[in-house]
Chains A and B, each alone.
Chain A
Amino acid sequence: MMPRTHAIGPPRRHEDAKTVLSKTSFVLSCLRGVRYHAAIAVSFAVVAVAVLDAQQVTFDRLLHADREPQNWLTYSGSLFGHRYSPLTQITPANVKNLELQWVFQTRGPAEPTEKFEATPLVVDGVMYTTLAPNHVVALDAATGRMFWMYSPRLSPLARVCCGRVNRGLAILGETLFMGTIDGHLIAIDAKIGKPIWDVAVSRPELGYSLTVAPLVIKDKVIIGPAGGEYGIRGFIAAFDAKTGNEAWRFNTVPGPGEAGHDSWPAGSDAWQHGGGSIWVTGSYDPDLNLLYFGTGNPGPDWNADPRPGANLYTDSVVALNPETGALKWHYQFTPNDEFDYDSTQVPVLADIEWQGRPRKVMLWANRNGFWYVLDRATGEFLRGKPFVRVNWAEGIDEKGVPKRVLNATPEGTLVYPNNQGATNWYSPSYSPRVGYFYIPSWMDTYSTYTKGAVEYKEGNQYVGRFPTMTVPALRTGPGNVNTRTPQEGWGAIQAFDARTGELKWQFKMSDVTDSGVLATASDLVFAGGREGYFFALDARSGAQLWKGSVGGQVSAGPMSYAVNGRQYVAIAAGSALFVYALRQ
């Protein structure tokens, strides 16, 4: 029986080439060494433009990515941050027949922390992805064979806390956009892998680095810097996609005269090193015309003495006007954080029934151990419940403020969840079909926070004393060694009913996971973990339906695409990209 297929796949490229070729046979004459004439040159330009228009990835295509399920056009697959594929060829019934189709080996990390964190884009049969730290490749999505590779020279001044990583690209028109660890934003021609413009966004020697996959909204490329461990002052900035000119900049730590500055101590320069980094891609609601980004921890991480106050807009979600960068609303998950609870998660925008009527909400599983439902038009707090063991706060009050009971102390404070958090940058997923919100969760983890001296020095880490953890923050070796008891931490993929908040199921793993989650329209959920497995679960029951060994930790989000009617699922693991499809 033929598997059920969507009307998917780009045009068959051979036939296409043939059709167009008849119109352009004169171009061939160029290739055969015929001298150029003005007439040929003019015709060439006209035809080239006509063909290229059909291939342009317009913003309208990004907005309506669900209309072309064969493609994966943004980091999360949609501007709503769902990481959900409408493809249905791979089903709970046939997923057991998944088979490895191809592997793309990077040259391997120069250091173990150079994890492969990127989610690829797929546009009409061509896959684009990044390899740590900042190599870009274009691959044939059906075979994994390479079209081109682009490797910018990077400044030796770049400094990153936790690995020279990159999480991926954005595309608009025929241009790819990548942030670099030395603080540049580069526009790259998607056809030939050559830079079109290259702008310095921030200063690498001060610890500003760009690791996030940029987000394209209308004609602008939105990005912000990582560097929350270096005393940076964070921002979200928009650049004109054509020219690279900066259009606006929103400071995630407001300066004197800006709203929110009074959440920092008066008469102190603490705000200048206040953190609020940006390192996970945001989301966008076209009806509200609001852009959402989560922000990182305040600086210094583990000692709040230099910065009494709420420390806006760290550990927050901010809703901005994409034309101007003006703040519409904000919600702060963890005021005056001392536990490194970055709110650098993908904002998941869902339209659900809330107390009997439809409501535009935002689902947010936070590093601090609570998962939230916010009204995304206003920022109103609707619900916040723990999804792992939490002891630093006794719940959240009706206004959305956590009822905090613990702080870092000189003698040490034991805190659940641990410093890496209940979840982290790993993408959650939302299935609008099932109505479940899927979270990669770190269960029963804890850290001891001991307050230590801290002093800002340019380019040095500005953190305080490192907390202790039973679970390694980063798996740095190639093998899998886990000798912990379950009380010392374990991992899970959890499914919550977005409407009721009820835990529907959880898939337990003996180790934690740095993997994102992908849900599909045939009610499958894909994820992986540190143990080096990639697996498929039933989206409704959590039952394990298939697993493959990828031999290295998964530190990236899965995605799905199709070429010529065949559905593929891709996952980066270790230092390679693995691509699966049904056995033929």
Chain B
Amino acid sequence: MVRVIGFVLIAAAVAAAQEHSYTQADIENGARLYQSSCAGCHGPNGDMVPGIELQRGQFRRATTDTEIMRIIQSGIPGTTMPPSSFTDPQAGSIVAYLRTASPSGGGRGGAVTIAGGNPGNGRAIFDGKGRCATCHRVNGVGPRLAPDLSEIGTIRPAAELQQKLLDPNTTIRPGNRYIELTLKSGARTSGRLLNQDTFTIQLLDVNERLVSVSRSDLREMVFVKDSAMPSYRDALSRDELADVVAYLVTLKGYRP
């Protein structure tokens, strides 16, 4: 009984925070505008300014959508937050993006609303038909070379996950870049780039070993341009895609 009441309260809070229902187009537009105009200071996940976590609904001076839109448009005098020339619809789409990315502002509920997916079905597709689990690791199970998705629902908005499933090459984030190395000895290796500096390169190689290579031993390093992930545009139906997204946004890690 207590749980039921709790759920109702959360649902009410989500509805109140959301104010509007956002369209898929709004969210995708907002994501683009955010990444081009806002991410430079706020970071790709909205958490690079201390005390502010945009995608988690943690703002310093605003709570309602209208207040956030006003700040996006007018800036905050006396701070490094500048005014912008965004129109109302543009500012609104950024809010739509931030709200759907935010766990407290309906990340879970909002995504399900947008996509209408079923997380249970999504998990079955993830492990089965979609073969996502043959490359991705979730909660300690699965291979490690592809990105670990255990907390993907906390760090990526639903719209971005959907976009990634449709067109894997749109954004390959810096932490998910793959390299091929040829050593002067002729040996070759490859894997996920973890770190590099003027003298060394660190990677998780194809055998899931943590390997450090000295550039003095290196003949060539090549960034792999294309994502190893296939597009699911034709492989899954629209409903199935929605289900997979619905499942992914439930993956919140252990300390969301």
List A residues at the B interface (Cβ < 8 Å): 13-18, 20-21, 24, 27-28, 30-36, 38, 41, 44-45, 47-48, 51-52, 55, 125-126, 138, 140, 142-143, 145-148, 152-153, 175, 186-187, 189, 191-192, 194-198
Q: B131 contacts A41, CB within 8 Å?
A: yes
Residue of A27, A32, A33, A192 near B204 (CB, 8 A) is A192
Given the complex, which residues of A lie within 8 Å of B205, measured CB to CB?
17
The yes or no answer to B135 lying at the interface (CB within 8 A) is yes
Closest to B147 in A: A192
Q: A138 contacts B207, CB within 8 Å?
A: no
Q: B183 contacts A31, CB within 8 Å?
A: no
Given the complex, which residues of B lie within 8 Å of A33, measured CB to CB?
224-228
Q: B230 contacts A17, CB within 8 Å?
A: no
Minimum C-beta distance from B205 to chain A (A):
6
Q: A36 contacts B135, CB within 8 Å?
A: yes
Minimum C-beta distance from B194 to chain A (A):
5
Residue of B134, B144, B202, B255 near A140 (CB, 8 A) is B202
Q: If the complex has contacts A21-B189, A45-B143, are A32 and B226 also in contact, measured as CB distance less than 8 A?
A: yes
Q: If the complex has contacts A31-B178, A148-B194, are A18 and B144 also in contact, measured as CB distance less than 8 A?
A: no
Given the complex, which residues of B lie within 8 Å of A47, measured CB to CB?
207
Q: A191 contacts B187, CB within 8 Å?
A: no
The yes or no answer to B160 lying at the interface (CB within 8 A) is no
Residue of A18, A140, A191 near B208 (CB, 8 A) is A191
The yes or no answer to B180 lying at the interface (CB within 8 A) is yes
The yes or no answer to B23 lying at the interface (CB within 8 A) is no
Q: B230 contacts A195, CB within 8 Å?
A: no
CB within 8 Å: A-B pair count: 139
23 of the cross-chain contacts (CB-CB < 8 Å) are A13-B209, A14-B189, A28-B190, A28-B206, A30-B145, A32-B228, A36-B131, A41-B134, A48-B207, A140-B200, A145-B197, A145-B212, A146-B194, A147-B194, A147-B204, A152-B254, A189-B137, A189-B140, A194-B150, A195-B253, A195-B254, A197-B140, A197-B254
Minimum C-beta distance from B226 to chain A (A):
3
Q: If the complex has contacts A31-B190, A31-B224, A31-B228, are A20 and B144 also in contact, measured as CB distance less than 8 A?
A: no
**A196 and B139 alpha carbons, distance in the complex (Å):** 5
Given the complex, which residues of B lie within 8 Å of A16, measured CB to CB?
209
Q: If the complex has contacts A14-B183, A21-B188, are A36 and B134 also in contact, measured as CB distance less than 8 A?
A: yes
Q: If the complex has contacts A145-B195, A145-B200, are A14 and B224 also in contact, measured as CB distance less than 8 A?
A: no
Q: A17 contacts B209, CB within 8 Å?
A: yes
**A34 and B186 alpha carbons, distance in the complex (Å):** 24
**A497 and B204 alpha carbons, distance in the complex (Å):** 47
| Chain A interface mostly | mixed
Query: B221-245: contact bitstring with A at CB < 8 Å (1 yes, 0 no)?
Result: 0001111101000000000000000
Query: B175-205: contact bitstring with A at CB < 8 Å (1 yes, 0 no)?
Result: 0001010010111111100110101101011
**A186 and B135 alpha carbons, distance in the complex (Å):** 24
Given the complex, which residues of A lie within 8 Å of B224, measured CB to CB?
31-33
Q: B135 contacts A191, CB within 8 Å?
A: no
**A195 and B255 alpha carbons, distance in the complex (Å):** 10
Minimum C-beta distance from B209 to chain A (A):
7
Given the complex, which residues of B lie within 8 Å of A35, measured CB to CB?
230
Given the complex, which residues of A lie within 8 Å of B208, measured CB to CB?
48, 51-52, 191
Closest to A180 in B: B255
Given the complex, which residues of A lie within 8 Å of B227, measured CB to CB?
33
Closest to B194 in A: A147
Given the complex, which residues of B lie within 8 Å of A51, measured CB to CB?
207-209
Chain B CB within 10 Å — which of A16, A31, A38, A186 has the most? A31
Q: How large is the interface on B (under 10, 10 to 19, 20 to 34, 35 or more residues)?
A: 35 or more
| Chain B interface mostly | loop
**A147 and B194 alpha carbons, distance in the complex (Å):** 6
Q: If the complex has contacts A146-B202, A147-B210, A195-B150, are A30 and B135 also in contact, measured as CB distance less than 8 A?
A: yes
Minimum C-beta distance from B254 to chain A (A):
4
Q: B185 contacts A14, CB within 8 Å?
A: yes
Given the complex, which residues of B lie within 8 Å of A146, measured CB to CB?
194-195, 202
Closest to B187 in A: A18
**A195 and B228 alpha carbons, distance in the complex (Å):** 24
Q: A17 contacts B189, CB within 8 Å?
A: yes
A-facing residues in B92-140 (Cβ within 8 Å) = 131, 134-135, 137, 139-140
Q: A152 contacts B135, CB within 8 Å?
A: no
Residue of A15, A20, A28, A194 near B148 (CB, 8 A) is A194
Q: Given A28-B206, A146-B195, A197-B139, 5 more contacts at CB 8 Å?
A: A17-B188, A33-B225, A36-B135, A44-B134, A140-B200
The yes or no answer to B12 lying at the interface (CB within 8 A) is no
Closest to A152 in B: B255
Minimum C-beta distance from A524 to chain B (A):
28
Minimum C-beta distance from B171 to chain A (A):
15
Given the complex, which residues of A lie within 8 Å of B254, measured CB to CB?
152, 186, 195, 197-198
Q: A38 contacts B131, CB within 8 Å?
A: yes
Closest to B211 in A: A13
Closest to A190 in B: B210
Chain B CB within 10 Å — which of A17, A48, A175 has the most? A17
Given the complex, which residues of A lie within 8 Å of B209, measured CB to CB?
13, 16-17, 51, 55, 191
The yes or no answer to B217 lying at the interface (CB within 8 A) is yes
Given the complex, which residues of A lie within 8 Å of B206, measured CB to CB?
21, 24, 27-28, 31
Q: Closest 7 CB pairs between A and B?
A: A196-B140, A33-B226, A140-B212, A198-B254, A18-B187, A41-B134, A17-B189
Minimum C-beta distance from A182 to chain B (A):
10
Given the complex, which residues of A lie within 8 Å of B139, measured CB to CB?
196-197
**A195 and B225 alpha carbons, distance in the complex (Å):** 29
Residue of B148, B188, B191, B214 near A18 (CB, 8 A) is B188
Q: B189 contacts A194, CB within 8 Å?
A: no
Chain A CB within 10 Å — which of B143, B190, B206, B217 has the most? B206
Minimum C-beta distance from A173 to chain B (A):
11
Given the complex, which residues of B lie within 8 Å of A30, measured CB to CB?
135, 145, 228
Q: A28 contacts B180, CB within 8 Å?
A: yes
Q: A45 contacts B134, CB within 8 Å?
A: yes
Minimum C-beta distance from A477 to chain B (A):
26
